[in-house]
Structure 1
């Protein structure tokens, strides 16, 4: 039986949050935004998501204030807002849970404090300095459980697979593209 598209329980914050991020693909779109993906075509390429579904999810995330849609010179980018960045603890917890549950060789992607190279624990504290690390200061890199893809990579996947700061925009060396929804 399929879940309803809206939840009747008005006194449950989790139900309300699921209305925003609970649909299939939505958390992967948000995850990729943390990894630096900003353009419609790059989300589509990276996730291999149907374009109509991506359009719907991006519009919804913009309406809910998770993303803002910026257009400059015909290039449209979707950027996490402060409200979107506030989803990091949930994304981080799910990444940790997935690594603990399904990655016997270790974390797929290691998180490090860019300032001192310290590993970041599941609660976002640097194991080197002990500080709580803000999202822009987190470097993500392949961990011991990372399995490099086989075959030729698209430019977006290639950049995501390299060490990089969270929220650092993906650039794939192309000129302006037509605006896409």
Structure 2
């Protein structure tokens, strides 16, 4: 039997990440933040998310340090909160861009993608790629998973 099948997965980083961002509305809120939305009313209008769910998801993203709240004031109006992405939130961009890239390839409208991601400076399409820390492009077949510092075997029952 493959010993990896007896590993303890209770401390899996993927599972822990999905506990925070693994829900449709959360990912869509992040998408809208990257597209420029920052106000509750913007999210509500664009997403069509129920107010209670939207409020809960935004609060969780702030509590997790993925978004932060700043105050803005339009002339003649009271101060209101707006949501801004934090450096921790920016680190999620490759994951969400990977979902966009996959969706554009396999789930796009027959006419093509609804939004194109382009490099602002040169206009070329943005592509999510995997590389090692030394900068070498890496194919999925060339990735190996090895035990890390928190690797544990499952306790015998």
Equivalent of 1:78 in 83, 101, 111: 83
TM-score normalised according to structure 1 size: 0.60
CA shift, 1:9, in A, is: 4.6
Report matched runs for 1:92-111 at 5 Å: 92-103=97-108, 104-111=110-117
RMSD: 1.9
CA shift, 1:121, in A, is: 2.2
Which structure has greater strand proportion?
A: 1
* Distance of 1:115 and 1:72 partners within structure 2: 29
TM-score normalised according to structure 2 size: 0.69
1:44 equivalenced with 2:44 (yes/no) = yes
DSSP-derived class of the 1:25 partner: helix
* Distance of 2:123 and 2:103 partners within structure 1: 23
Q: Which runs of 5 or more residues in structure 1 are unaligned?
A: 1-7, 125-181
Find the counterpart in structure 1 of residue 128 from structure 2.
Answer: 122
* Distance of 2:64 and 2:86 partners within structure 1: 10
Q: Residue by residue, what CA displacement relative to the aligned partner does 1:84-136 show, whole Å, maximum 9, x if unpaired?
A: 11111111110011111122443332221111222222339xxxxxxxxxxxx
Report matched runs for 1:164-179 at 5 Å: none
Checking the alignment, whether the CA contact within 8 Å between 2:101 and 2:127 is kept in structure 1 is no
* Distance of 2:122 and 2:26 partners within structure 1: 32
Find the counterpart in structure 1 of residue 64 from structure 2.
Answer: 64
* Distance of 2:51 and 2:9 partners within structure 1: 31
* Distance of 2:39 and 2:32 partners within structure 1: 11
Q: Which runs of 5 or more residues in structure 2 are unaligned?
A: 1-7, 74-78, 131-157
1:29 equivalenced with 2:35 (yes/no) = no
Find the counterpart in structure 1 of residue 133 from structure 2.
Answer: none
Find the counterpart in structure 2 of residue 162 from structure 1.
Answer: none
Which structure has greater helix proportion?
A: 2
Q: Residue by residue, what CA displacement relative to the aligned partner does 1:39-59 show, whole Å, maximum 9, x if unpaired?
A: 001000000011111110000
CA shift, 1:24, in A, is: 3.3
Aligned residue pair count: 117
* Distance of 1:71 and 1:23 partners within structure 2: 27
